[in-house]
Structure 1
Amino acid sequence: MLLNFRAANHRSLRDEQQLQLHAVYDADRPPGTEWQAVPVAGIFGANAAGKSNVVDALRYMARMVVSSHNIAEPDGGVLREPFRLDREAAADPSWFVVDLHLSDVRHTYGFSVDDDAVLQEWLYDYPHGRRRIIFERNGEEVVPGDSQAARELKVIANVTEPNVLFLSMAARSRQPDFRPVYDWFSTGLNFSSGTSPRLSRQTARLLEEADRAPFLLDLLRASDLGIEDFGVERVEAEESPRWATMRSGAGWIVRTDTGHVELRPWVGHRGRDGIVRMSLHEESAGTRALIHQAARLDRTLLRGGTLVIDEVDSSLHPRLTAALIALFQDKATNPHGGQLLFTSHDATLLGRREGEDILRRDQVWFAEKDRYGETSLVPLSDFKPRQDENRERRYLGGSYGGVPLIDDSFAAAVAASRGDDAEDTEAERP
């Protein structure tokens, strides 16, 4: 599980911002669980407040861990996006740190970079509650921990470019102490966008193998979408892929031993004469969004890990979004402690569903941007909320921050400008 994420100098995150996912209130802990972190965390805020930049900072860290050895050119520097609204900050290092709980062991990993190279990097674990140094890096100097095969790591360090993470190189060299953290970034951490129209490979596979996807069928049936079945039709196709068609959700081309086949996903609606198959591009944006997320939701709930969704409520009804969140709050549907981290504008998620809080008090964060364009993250728990208070109403009323401040003169200014335009138009008439 992700216990903590910290980042600084990335996009609108100028100073250190921390997403602390340890449980704060024992009374709010999901019944029957001893999870080391909360299973759900929602980040709320106004448009352009920086919610997505928090998600992007974690995505950037994952991309560096998994791919820095592939994307970095020798002497090519480091691709990053520092805070641009302050000259000093733009030149300062960017840094990223995670605390993870993997296989009952806590791990801490982090690094800092500037435009030229990796400046610092470190990995610790706590197998018996005490810190064990796996390695520490300062510039191009890598110092292995006492338990490490120093000679092997020295060899790896000698072939690690200044702009490449040492963790990436060591994990791919099959160093066992590096694999838990690397594997979490490569397979245990998944990102998605509520606005993406494109099907993932996992979702395509679920649609094609309907008998092996009871979760998706149950989810679609329970969502009151009128869907009773789904599948994929195979049609012989010409060799050239129709990428536009694929992106729209209507189908995609795959190569087989005998040629090319177009896969056309469909969903079945119950009509007066039985089940009627309809192409995905005939479905609503909400239905496509739900199907798009299904495979990642299924995988995270069954295997654990952390799923990050930017704009989780996009195109989905609030009650459906709340139902998806509830799956992560219940040990029966989330046996391995999978986590859902999301951003949203939907204030109804701060309310209740069937008498229960959709989000607990320690599962809510607010992003707010100041007049200098700097984003700050504030947990709801900082406001010491009562368990029974109406958090949706207080949020919309501005008690927690994270809401847009609309000038009262906004409507009057628009009306006045419209009036000026009308007078100009009238004056121009012959």
Structure 2
Amino acid sequence: MIVNFKIRNILSIRSEQCLSFEPTSDTFKTEEYCYEVKENVKLLKIGIIYGANASGKSNILGALAFFRKLMVEGVSDKTEELDFEPFLLDDVSRNEKSSLEMSFYLNKERYNLKIEFDKKRIYSEVLSFYPGTQPAVLYDRQYNAEEDKSDVIFGGKLELGKEDKVTIIGNSINNRTVLAAFGMSNVATSRLNIVYDYFKKDIANVLHPKTLLSSYTKKHLDKDKNGKLKRFLIKFLKASDFNIENLEIKEEEITITPEMLKMLQVIPGSEEVKNDVLKKGTITNSELVFVHKTNDGEFSLSEGYESEGTMRFMGLGVLLEQLLLQGRTIPIDEVESSLHYELLSYFIKLFLLNSKKASQLILSTHDLNLLDEDFIRRDIIWFTEKDDDNGETKLVRLSSLGLHKNLSPYNAYRQGKLVKLPFLGSLFLDIEEEE
């Protein structure tokens, strides 16, 4: 689970901003909101980020996605630039290094991973953990400017053989992280496996508001051999007041037409897969079919007849099952997209009340109704706002703003007492008509 995540000089974020999941001294609903990662150490299960359009809330989630990508995917070769932009609204930041840092718990032990970089190379990367009160370095990577290469020193606690260390170092080119280099190296098992698996498997990619979840749902239902996910989704949808009694995946073999052949040849993808499809001569089309129960009986509808809200909420149900059973960190941008507020509230409550794993939800939203709920802890709410002087994003925690416990965060936010709201100007526009 993430303890905190620090970002500096990426996109709209210039000075270091920190998103923390360490709870305050507030004892409100601690059992529901916190998970004990170690004896007497608890972390928050959820963080919710509010902000006006273009205030930078999506950039917080984007920085997390970029950090994950650096750790598990890396680059194809040493000429490839890192896929990000520094802060561009001054003449200094674009030429400075950027940094990302995360503290997190795995198997009751705390880890810390920090990286410093620009678009061309990684300057430093340090991974440490805490076997006791003092940190132990697992590896320390520094850029050697004279030789234009990375020097990597491994700590004794890593317990890797000399040949394995040489292999990892050889793959740690200037623009690839040591952890990504480890992921592509044939080396013995070590503590790096735990950390790599965390970033690879336990931290999900950001779910964006326009992401279609039907394919994602079908993929997971295809793997659902014992029907456990299907039963969960049906209960989830029925409990959410959808009159859905059952769901199935219907598959149909479609013969490839000349028009489809032309499209298949130009779309990106594996040539091997394309050749297999062409050899087969057909494409398998699958769609979800929902069985609705009414007073007049049961009726089947294909997914094309379902609302965007139904399809998105079902996709969130797949993610919810992962959160409850597997222990994952899932970031969702504009979580309220296509959802009625009551469904959003229900989704969050289900997660908080039923999660017994080391899972975390990181949400951005425009829906202010959550600020008016009596079940919301103030240390899970964050605001992004743009600095008037230089346009950089500032991340502020609601619990740090000194709002009295008897005052409504909703009202205070609407009145501009917490963070600055967008100034929308006059409703009257001076429009000159042209003849």
Contact 1:313 1:344 in 2 (8 A): yes
Matched, 1:289 2:328: no
Partner Cα separation in structure 2 for residue 324 and residue 184 of structure 1: 24
- Give the counterpart letter for 1:323 in structure 2: Y
1:132 matched residue in structure 2? 136
1:250 matched residue in structure 2? none
The worse-fitting range, judged by mean Cα deviation, of 368-377 and 11-20 is 368-377
Compared with structure 1, are the counterparts of its residues 174 and 56 closer, same or farther at alpha carbon in structure 2 (3 Å cutoff)?
Answer: farther
Q: Identify which of 404, 407, 417 aligns with 1:389.
A: 407
Q: Counterparts in 2 of 1:236-315, with a 5 A limit?
A: 236-239=253-256, 260-315=283-338
CA deviations on 1:229-273 (whole Å, 9 max, x unpaired) are 211112122245999xxxxxxxxx997999642211121222343
- Give the counterpart letter for 1:13 in structure 2: I
Contact 1:195 1:289 in 2 (8 A): no
CA offset at residue 405 of structure 1? Answer: 2.2
Secondary structure of 1:135's match?
Answer: strand
Partner Cα separation in structure 2 for residue 155 and residue 73 of structure 1: 16
Q: Identify which of 139, 151, 173 aligns with 1:141.
A: 151
Matched, 1:38 2:44: yes
CA offset at residue 61 of structure 1? Answer: 0.6
Compared with structure 1, are the counterparts of its residues 278 and 202 closer, same or farther at alpha carbon in structure 2 (3 Å cutoff)?
Answer: closer
Partner Cα separation in structure 1 for residue 417 and residue 108 of structure 2: 38
Partner Cα separation in structure 2 for residue 134 and residue 171 of structure 1: 15
Partner Cα separation in structure 1 for residue 396 and residue 78 of structure 2: 40
Compared with structure 1, are the counterparts of its residues 208 and 233 closer, same or farther at alpha carbon in structure 2 (3 Å cutoff)?
Answer: farther
Compared with structure 1, are the counterparts of its residues 312 and 85 closer, same or farther at alpha carbon in structure 2 (3 Å cutoff)?
Answer: same
Q: Identify which of 208, 213, 216 aligns with 2:233.
A: 216
Structure 1 residue ranges without an equivalent (≥5):
244-252
1:369 matched residue in structure 2? 386
**TM-score normalized with structure 1 length:** 0.86
CA deviations on 1:335-376 (whole Å, 9 max, x unpaired) are 113111010000001122xxx42x211100000012322101
1:178 matched residue in structure 2? 192
Matched, 1:193 2:199: no
1:72 matched residue in structure 2? 76
Contact 1:121 1:136 in 2 (8 A): yes
Partner Cα separation in structure 2 for residue 402 and residue 316 of structure 1: 27
Q: Counterparts in 2 of 1:112-123, with a 5 A limit?
A: 112-123=116-127
- Give the counterpart letter for 2:364 in structure 1: T
1:248 matched residue in structure 2? none
Secondary structure of 1:133's match?
Answer: strand
Partner Cα separation in structure 1 for residue 190 and residue 284 of structure 2: 41
Contact 2:217 2:315 in 1 (8 A): no
CA offset at residue 108 of structure 1? Answer: 0.5
Compared with structure 1, are the counterparts of its residues 198 and 397 closer, same or farther at alpha carbon in structure 2 (3 Å cutoff)?
Answer: same
CA offset at residue 156 of structure 1? Answer: 1.8
Contact 2:218 2:249 in 1 (8 A): no
Partner Cα separation in structure 2 for residue 77 and residue 197 of structure 1: 29
Contact 1:200 1:292 in 2 (8 A): no
Tell me the matched-pair count: 400
1:336 matched residue in structure 2? 357
Contact 2:243 2:292 in 1 (8 A): yes
Contact 2:323 2:351 in 1 (8 A): no
Secondary structure of 1:37's match?
Answer: strand
Q: Counterparts in 2 of 1:101-116, with a 5 A limit?
A: 101-116=105-120
Q: Give RMSD over aligned pairs.
A: 2.5
Compared with structure 1, are the counterparts of its residues 401 and 174 closer, same or farther at alpha carbon in structure 2 (3 Å cutoff)?
Answer: farther
Matched, 1:206 2:221: yes
Contact 2:11 2:84 in 1 (8 A): no
Secondary structure of 1:270's match?
Answer: strand
The worse-fitting range, judged by mean Cα deviation, of 398-407 and 176-185 is 398-407
Partner Cα separation in structure 2 for residue 262 and residue 220 of structure 1: 24
CA offset at residue 403 of structure 1? Answer: 2.9
Sequence identity (%): 27
Q: Identify which of 369, 374, 377 aligns with 1:360.
A: 377
